[in-house]
Structure 1
Amino acid sequence: MAIRMKRATTGPTRGLGSRTRGLRLALAALLPGLVLWAGCAGRGVARVEQGLGELRGELATLGRAQAELRDTQTGLRDAQAALAREMAEVREALQAADARAREGLREQERARTQALASLDAALGRIQEVEARLEAVRGSVVRLEATLDALRDELDRLEAIAPPPQPQTGPPPTTPPEQLYVRALDRYRAGEFGQAVLDFEEFVAKFRSHPLAGNAQYWIGEAFFLHRDFQQAVVEFRKALDLAPRGEKSPDVLLRLGQAYRALKRPERAREVWEQLLRDFPMSEAARRARVALREGRDPGADK
């Protein structure tokens, strides 16, 4: 019985050992291949890990480059903003400078305009003063000519005046020549008012005397020199009525035309001067009137 049980136990054990040995043999046969495969697999994993490491390095490099690029972009944006601010400041400065320049130009133009206006005003005043001086010169020339004529006439009258006669009866009246000479003396001394009264007395007393026209001329001349041209016209007309072709008639016509011109009546002045040229063409007064008609200026300035 015991022997049967021992056999029964030994049979399966022998089969298991057999299988174990087979497995060992199989493993022994497979072990070199597994080792080879494991080695190959390890080298592949190493290469993969190496590639991953390289990728990680490249990614890190790219990350650093990207960070640097972001920093660069940030710097560029900051620089661009700063440049924009500088450009804005420059633009404002240029606009301010342009405004100041324009204002300066306007100030210069205003100053130039004011200077030109002042210059024109000064030139106008200078011309006015020159015109007054010219008028004064003309008046002086006319007065000198008048005084020369008075001196000549006084000398002539003194030469022809009769010697005083002894009084045998009541004192005689003042001779006309003496009254005329007295009036001339006062006129020459500048006593125009009294001279006019004396000449008027002479004309009233001796209207038919050859010197009556001359006396009336000096009355008109006194008013003319005092620029009372309206009254001068009246007195010169009286002189022409007294002596149409007297010694002073050419001068009367010349002065009458000048008085009309001073009264802004050039047509009447032309008529009078044309009459002077017709009636006394060879006189000095006619020569001056001819120049005045030709050149349109005051014949009193032409000597």
Structure 2
Amino acid sequence: MTMARFIADSLRGLTAALLLLGTLTATPNLFAATPQPPDAAHRLYDRVMEEFRHKDYPAALAGFRFFLELHGQSSLSANAQYWMGECQYRMGRHNDALASFFKLISDYPMSQKLAASTLKIGQIYTKQGDRDKAQMMYERVTGQYPDSPEAEVARKALEADAAKGEPVATGPN
């Protein structure tokens, strides 16, 4: 190998290394998954919430499912899971709603919708006539989220149950 050839090969290797280094420093998250633009997730979520507000629960349910398929790692995912349960609840699909609310509790342990989901589970058990499970869920709400608005609803349901000795009355939807 001649000296000129050696220098040329070395320069090619050095150039390739510099190009690679430049690429890595210019894009520090080269190996990270590209997140969905937050505005796209928010726009879709807001559009689906409009369906819910207009009481088109079947459309909203389908929209929240679609949202979770597209934006399953979004900061709004737990909320979408909660509203799926609300849609099912309002459509009278209580077993599906139970599954949705329990999924929120298990999949999103840091969600701000935990108290609301736990309360709604208690209300579903009340509607189903399962007094013991309803009471357990209401007590969980008052114990784990004592200062929440949901705890106040749960306390009233527990008081009504104790006063009547009947299945716990539900709060407003």
TM-score, normalised via structure 2 length: 0.68
* 1:180-191 matched pairs, under 5 angstroms: 180-191=45-56
Show the counterpart of 1:41: none
* 1:67-78 matched pairs, under 5 angstroms: none
Q: Deviations over 1:30-66 (max 9, x none)?
A: xxxxxxxxxxxxxxxxxxxxxxxxxxxxxxxxxxxxx
Query: Which residue of 117, 140, 149 corresponds with 1:275?
Result: 140
Query: Which residue of 176, 179, 183 corresponds with 2:41?
Result: 176
Q: Which runs of 5+ in 2 are unaligned?
A: 1-36, 162-167
In 2, are the aligned partners of 1:212 and 1:242 still within 8 Å (CA)? no
Show the counterpart of 1:289: 154
Q: Which has the larger radius of gyration?
A: 1
In 2, are the aligned partners of 1:276 and 1:286 still within 8 Å (CA)? yes
SS at match of 1:175: helix
SS at match of 2:171: helix
Q: Which one-letter code corresponds to 1:175 in the other structure?
A: A
Q: Deviations over 1:177-220 (max 9, x none)?
A: 11110110111122211211111122223223221111111111
How far apart in 1 are the matches of 2:38 and 2:79?
21
In 2, are the aligned partners of 1:230 and 1:263 still within 8 Å (CA)? no
Higher relative contact order (CA 8 A, sep 6+): 2
In the TM superposition, structure 1's runs of 4+ consecutive aligned residues that sit over 6 Å from their partners are none
Query: Which residue of 58, 61, 86 corresponds with 1:196?
Result: 61
Show the counterpart of 2:123: 258
How far apart in 2 are the matches of 1:203 and 1:266?
33
Show the counterpart of 2:70: 205
Percent identity at matched positions? 27
Aligned: 1:298 with 2:169 = yes
How far apart in 2 are the matches of 1:226 and 1:196?
10
Show the counterpart of 2:92: 227
Question: Displacement, 1:269?
Answer: 1.2
* 1:1-303 matched pairs, under 5 angstroms: 175-296=40-161, 297-301=168-172
In 1, are the aligned partners of 2:126 and 2:134 still within 8 Å (CA)? yes
CA RMSD of aligned residues (A): 2.1
Q: Which one-letter code corresponds to 1:196 in the other structure?
A: L
How far apart in 2 are the matches of 1:209 and 1:274?
31
Q: Which runs of 5+ in 1 are unaligned?
A: 1-171
Question: Displacement, 1:174?
Answer: 7.3
**Bigger helix fraction:** 1
How far apart in 2 are the matches of 1:245 and 1:173?
20
How far apart in 1 are the matches of 2:113 and 2:102?
12
In 1, are the aligned partners of 2:126 and 2:170 still within 8 Å (CA)? no
In 2, are the aligned partners of 1:291 and 1:299 still within 8 Å (CA)? no
How far apart in 2 are the matches of 1:220 and 1:233?
7
TM-score, normalised via structure 1 length: 0.40
Question: Displacement, 1:290?
Answer: 1.0
Instruction: Tell me how many residue pairs correspond in the alignment.
Output: 131
